[in-house]
Chain A
Amino acid sequence: MGKVGKFQEIVDAFGPHLHDEPKGGWSANREIEAIVPTHCPYCAVQCGMNLLVEKGSVVGVEPRYDFPVNEGRLCPKGVTAYLQTHHPDRLHYPLIKRKGMFERATWEEALNLIVSKFKESQEKHGKDSIGVYSGSSLTTEKTYLMGKFARAGLGTRYIDYNGRLCMVSAAAGNNKAFGVDRAANPWSDIPFADVLMIAGANCAETFPVLNKFLWEQRDNGGVWIVIDPRETPTARQGDLHLQLKPGTDVALANGILNVIVNEGLIDEEFIRTRTNDWEATKQIILKYTPEVAAGITGVPAEKIVKAGKVYGRAKTGMILHARGIEHHSHGVNNVLSYINIVLATGKIGSRGRGYGTITGQGNGQGGREHGQKADQLPGQRSMLNPEHRKHICGIWGLPEEELPQAGVSVVEMFDKMREGEIRTLLSLCNNVMVSLPDTNKVRESLESLDFYVHIDFFMSESARYADVVLPGTSWCEDEGVTTNGEGRVLKINKAIEPPAEAKPDWWIIREIAHRMGRGKYFGFQTPRDLFEEIRVTSKGGTADYAGITWERIEKENGVFWPCPCEDKPGTERLFEERFYHPDGRAKFHGFEFAPAAETPDDEYPLIFTSGRIVHQYLSGNQTRRIGFLVKQCPEPYVEIHPDTAARYGITDGERVRVRSRRGSGEFPALVVKTIRPDTIFIPYHWGETQAANQITNPVLDPISKIPEYKACAAQIEKLSGERSVVTQITQSEVVK
């Protein structure tokens, strides 16, 4: 394991171990001293929940019926999230790696070491020799701080965030089409849509509570068109399932719009008065007859015709999409091709008529608004815009010449580590050894660093490679805001104190900044101080938070941005009057179909795709320690169609090797008719030898720089009849 040192000893000491009951065990006689309303730490539905506090510990959860998004509902991750808080795997003290093993250190010792190494790195190799990689499951205050810390604290251009792996194709597409990066509608609009087109989004498993709105729409007589290579629970429940070949979304979207055009179902008045560039796009669309689209996508032409007619004829309708169309080397084109359908039919800007991306990370929206993206400044301003740079430098009091230029995306940052340009890494709450494509290359990157600091509250697969690991706090040990997938800013409340010597992430970053001699830019004392700074810096930007206060959020159950004034409501629904481009109009973007960067051939004859399951969250660093969740799905598997399985002589439960040009892994086969015969699927929440990302292709979308997780060429190989065994964590390791 190279630099990771004493791998097994680290795993033994820091887990993952299973933990499955509240502190003090299950009891019917709790003495609850506080019920703290807050929100779930996981996906971007950001469900409201009440945490039950007893003797300074969170010992349970109670439905919070008053929050309008979920009205008490929770998925299994939400129900069990509180079990993180006193988990025996929690990091309690700063750790410094010595002779391959982590040893307890004092904060003074750890911070002094970090600062001396940072200074040494910058003196020897320049300011850009330090890279900062941040997260999107953090509060917005922390994400803002990370952007400011990189630029004003370290003076490095190299910062990016793990939303890069999630929503950036949607963000880029939204900016190009609408001039703003946010869902067009509140989710309460969904029940009023006659038809929903759900593209590459398994809402049932990835955003379970959103299903509340989807089923309300169904109860109102609405229909669902689901576009997915797999018959997911969402697709099974839909009225029309277009089971396309992974990577062919542009052709399918063009085909559907072709039907709409030929049936005379476009909204000419809307196109004429509120959009640009339709004619050029139409010329491309006309080439994609249902038969042409069927030939590329594998979806029968009659189904494409039906989808076009159903969506086009409906009076109201919405399109929702997620990573299934975004995780591609043409992810932005995919997004824009579906937006073309929205714009051509004029189905946007009113109740039941709209569009939105489903955001995977809890604060995926807020995390990409205030400056931790490589090319972004607070308020969705651009690092490349001289006026924006000047504006933010003025507020920060930072000389303009000290503000670095835009950096690069995370996959490119990891390339620069291998190339020796980035020598030191500061990483906050992310887990690249699970989440980045081509895991073997990621390992090389981490091992090539001179110095690596990781902040988290559990020892992740990535943190094992660090030189210093600092204990941060879980979500209910700190406070701040997040922005959910519909653009609603919410308040996360503190329920308990951090355990032992764990510290809030903002405290850690502030300490490093002060010790680096940059304290004048980091004078805040609390997360509230940071939020007040966000209000100032975002004012006048696209993502304007100036009118939002913590008190308003509590009182109004969240406030939608943009919200420029304290005495006016936030903006629930965008585009009722105008779009955000200077001329107020939306833009069409037409694309010819281009295949995935890697398509099947004789050697690698199958299409590999990856995704999520309901019982795990992202890299699994939090959820793979919760006994209940692990029991539901103990290890990753590979979904194979029975016809394909028969061709290779594989039976259900048999272990198979899945291989691509990057790497390979062994997984038990789940032989199911719910996947295309030419496609195989592995959920991605596990690391090391169980990582789906050993196989995936790190090729990037040229605009959003998102990796192509959802389509690459692969082969499978039967492994000598071995049956499935649970390899990750055995019951003997259960912590009682």
Chain B
Amino acid sequence: MKETFFIDPQRCIGCRSCVAACRECSTHKGYSMIYVDYIDRGESTATMPTVCMHCTEPTCALVCPADAIKVNEDGVVMSALKPRCLDCRNCVNACPFGVPKYNSEMHLQMKCDMCYDRTSEGLKPMCASVCPTGALSFGTYEQIVPLRRTKPVNAHVFGNQKVETKVYLMLPTDDTEVSIGCGVFEGRVTAQNERESWMEAQVEESNKSNEF
């Protein structure tokens, strides 16, 4: 599958229609596999959508002791297989992007699988279909990139770990990779005892536990 996600944080308006639409996807009815966070509501209205980045060498799969996370031939990293998932949450803790969540009712790790039930049949994922602004788009590199003035980046550096992803971030820079501590990930350092924004806490409460 040549199509993939292109995430353009500049365009995100924090509406969470992607989150609402993800629940409508037929394979994981009612659960959303995408998250939208305020970057720092006190400073700005900026928000950021997070989907699985579908790493070329996914850390979540590498640390899975039960080989429950499969990467299919299209490069899509799937949710954990139910018969194999051990509830160990290694994947949850290991993912550098903080994507997989543990579903305590189903005893299963679940995460964005690029709407494989839809995309394998030529449809767009629900989240990218509904996104009002194009903060989240789905298509081929050749289709999307010429339309934008932002630059696609799919290399991410986390300390000593460099991760290449199927999903692209669209950035208003000429950087070829995203390093923690620079670019869009550069944020205000928050003291440990500083309280989070009350609204952020209300909206994102469920995301903090890494569980559904």
Contact = CB atoms under 8 A, between A and B. Distances in A.
Chain B interface size range: 35 or more
A74 B42 contact: no
Given A79-B24, A219-B149, A208 B41 contact: no
B93 interface: no
A75 B132 contact: yes
A608 to B, nearest CB: 20
A231 interface: yes
B15 A237 contact: no
B45 A232 contact: yes
Contact of B203 (A60, A234, A631, A671): A631
Contacts of A726: 202
A615 B202 CA distance: 14
A78 B126 CA distance: 13
Interface stretch (B80-88, B97-105, B192-200): B192-200
Contacts of A215: 11, 133-134
Contacts of A65: 129
A41 interface: no
B45 A219 contact: no
Contacts of A671: 42
B203 A28 contact: no
Nearest to B131: A73
Interface string B1-29: 00000000011011111011101101101
A628 B23 contact: yes
B3 to A, nearest CB: 15
A236 B132 contact: no
A420 interface: no
A212 B124 contact: no
Contacts of B16: 76, 615, 632
A30 B26 contact: yes
A615 B17 CA distance: 9
Given A63-B129, A208-B132, A652-B195, A76 B15 contact: yes
B199 to A, nearest CB: 6
B148 interface: yes
A653 B195 contact: yes
B163 interface: no
B132 A209 contact: yes
B147 interface: yes
B184 to A, nearest CB: 14
B13 A28 contact: no
A674 to B, nearest CB: 6
B23 to A, nearest CB: 7
B46 interface: yes
Contacts of B160: none
Nearest to B203: A632
A208 B132 CA distance: 6
B17 A219 contact: no
Contact of B129 (A25, A73, A653): A73
A697 B21 CA distance: 38
A104 interface: no
Contacts of A74: 17, 21, 130, 132
B45 A236 contact: yes
Nearest to A230: B45
B121 interface: no
A674 B132 contact: no
Given A672-B42, A674-B45, A614 B13 contact: yes
Contact of A72 (B19, B42, B45, B129): B129
Contact of B149 (A78, A221, A615): A221
Interface in A198-245: 204-205, 208-209, 211-212, 215, 218-219, 221, 231-234, 236-237
Contacts of A60: 24
Interface residues of A, number: 55
Contact of A233 (B45, B148, B199): B45
Given A219-B148, A236-B46, A670 B41 contact: yes
A21 B45 contact: no
B30 interface: yes
Among B14, B44, B126, B199, the one with the most A-chain Cβ atoms within 10 Å of its Cβ is B199
B42 A212 contact: no
Contacts of B15: 75-76, 204-205, 208, 614-615
Contacts of B19: 76, 628
A233 B26 CA distance: 31
A643 to B, nearest CB: 13
Nearest to A724: B198
Contacts of B186: none
Contacts of B14: 233, 614
Contact of B44 (A80, A204, A236): A236
Contacts of A723: 198
Contact of A637 (B11, B30, B131, B199): B199
B133 A208 contact: yes
Interface in B163-212: 195, 197-199, 202-203
Nearest to B150: A219
B110 to A, nearest CB: 13
Given A28-B27, A211-B13, A631-B203, A72 B130 contact: yes
A643 B43 CA distance: 13
A673 interface: yes
Contacts of A218: 149
Given A26-B29, A628-B19, 14 more contacts: A27-B29, A28-B27, A211-B11, A211-B133, A215-B11, A219-B148, A233-B45, A236-B45, A237-B10, A614-B14, A653-B198, A668-B198, A673-B44, A674-B44
17 contacts: A60-B24, A73-B132, A76-B19, A204-B15, A211-B132, A211-B133, A212-B132, A212-B133, A212-B134, A215-B11, A215-B134, A219-B148, A237-B11, A652-B42, A653-B195, A670-B41, A673-B44
| Across the A-B interface, the 5 shortest Cβ-Cβ residue pairs | A26-B29, A653-B198, A26-B30, A208-B132, A204-B13
Interface of A: 21, 25-28, 30, 60-63, 65, 72-76, 78-80, 204-205, 208-209, 211-212, 215, 218-219, 221, 231-234, 236-237, 614-615, 628, 631-634, 637, 642, 652-653, 668, 670-674, 723-724, 726
